[in-house]
Amino acid sequence: MTEAEWLEKVREYEEELKGLITEFHPAYRNPRKRPDMPITAPNAEKVCDQFSSAIAKETHDDPKYRFERLLSEGNTCELVSLFNETWFGVPESRSWPPNFEILCQLCEDPPEYEGET
């Protein structure tokens, strides 16, 4: 998928992605207010918790506003990074939150940059 096609898909699902970011990005994570999703991979969840803590500590700007800024700039590279950070905040469960497959698809199929084959 080209950068333009990838950005078009992000814009198509902008509100859904913003919702996932505000619910799951580690910077917003509150251990006492976890989503009601059964943890089906507890060891993976422990590792993700460590990465989530590091991401939260290294996050200096509000992820929701960062998303809006990066989207308006068309900064696909940083958007992929933001989506990957958000993925770490999603519990390791077989129960996916609504619209999570959109975020997964965007992370797993990032845009092809000019000169890549």
Question: Would you state the pLDDT for residue 64?
Answer: 96
Write down the residue that tokens 């913003």 correspond to.
18
The answer to whether 21 and 67 have CB atoms below 8 angstroms apart is yes
pLDDT(101) > 60? yes
Least confidently predicted of 3-12, 16-25, 81-90, 108-117: 108-117
Q: What is the pLDDT of residues 35-82, one digit of tens each?
A: 666 676 677 777 777 888 888 899 889 999 999 999 999 999 999 999
The predicted model gives 7-36 an average pLDDT of 86
User: Is the distance from CB of 76 to CB of 6 less than 8 angstroms?
Assistant: yes
